[in-house]
């Protein structure tokens, strides 16, 4: 009995480190011989605000049960995203799902989260503090969240790029600084 209590306490502690946001709730109907049976579908984003985030979809006859199912699915499907200085993305990236396309841009400190609806929920639970995002095409929350996750999975840290290329991290970052200087000089001309 004591072992079961400690397991439950451990699970509660692990769950308390996550922040969850309800992105969208939808009333759905199943047509049966006697008429329509109504239920609810929920879209939830869960993250630890330290670089891990996931989303889940749950359906049930009652709203709280749908949210619970979606939260469990989100915790099972979490991905790790490398963040620069723990506050923004390493580089600009695009993602798409269906007709939804999103563009995510790294931003300087103090910019804040400039993103709409479902994308804002993803960034807040991920722990990003400075980002500029634009959504093109579909405004469907499911497609927007999936497109945002497609973009975030393309995100690479300089460390992983250096390891893949067999270089040092300083060489990657020096090349990046050279490109930034060239762009700044080009803008002045």
pLDDT in the model for residue 60: 95
Query: Mind listing the pLDDT tens digit for each residue in 14-51?
Result: 556 889 999 999 999 999 999 999 999 999 999 998 88
Q: Residue 157's pLDDT is what?
A: 81
Query: Would you call 109 helix, strand, or coil by DSSP?
Result: coil
Contact 70, 43 (CB under 8 A): yes
- pLDDT at position 117, please? 86
**Where do runs of H (alpha helix) occur along 128-168?**
141-153, 158-165
Query: pLDDT tens digits, residue range 152-182?
Result: 998 888 788 888 888 888 887 776 666 666 6
Residues of the chain with CATH 3.30.160.20: 2-79
What pTM was computed for the model? Answer: 0.81
Q: Which two tokens stand for residue 133?
A: 């995002």
What does the pLDDT look like over 88-145, one tens digit per residue? Answer: 888 899 999 999 999 999 988 888 999 988 999 999 999 889 999 999 998 999 999 9
- The second-level CATH assignment, the architecture, of 2-79 is 2-Layer Sandwich (3.30)
12 vs 42, residue with greater confidence = 42
82-188 CATH fold: Ribosomal Protein S5; domain 2 (3.30.230)
Q: Residue 185, Cβ neighbours under 10 Å: how many?
A: 9
């Amino acid at each position: 009995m004591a072992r079961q209590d400690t397991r439950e306490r451990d699970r509660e502690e692990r769950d308390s480190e996550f922040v969850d946001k309800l992105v969208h709730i939808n009333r759905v109907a199943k047509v049966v011989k006697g008429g329509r049976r109504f239920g609810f579908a929920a879209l939830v984003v869960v993250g630890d605000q330290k670089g891990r985030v996931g989303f889940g979809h749950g359906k049930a006859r009652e709203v709280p049960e749908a949210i619970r199912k979606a939260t469990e699915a989100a915790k099972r499907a979490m991905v790790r995203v490398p963040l620069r200085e723990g506050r923004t993305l390493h580089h600009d990236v695009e993602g798409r799902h269906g007709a939804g396309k999103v563009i995510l841009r790294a931003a300087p400190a103090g910019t804040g989260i400039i993103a709409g609806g479902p994308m804002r929920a993803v960034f807040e639970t991920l722990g990003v503090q400075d980002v500029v995002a634009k959504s093109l095409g579909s405004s469907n929350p499911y497609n927007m969240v999936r497109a945002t996750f497609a973009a975030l999975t393309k995100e690479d840290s300089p460390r992983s790029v250096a390891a893949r290329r067999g270089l040092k991290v300083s060489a990657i970052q020096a090349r990046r600084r050279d490109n930034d200087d060239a762009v700044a000089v080009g803008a002045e001309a």
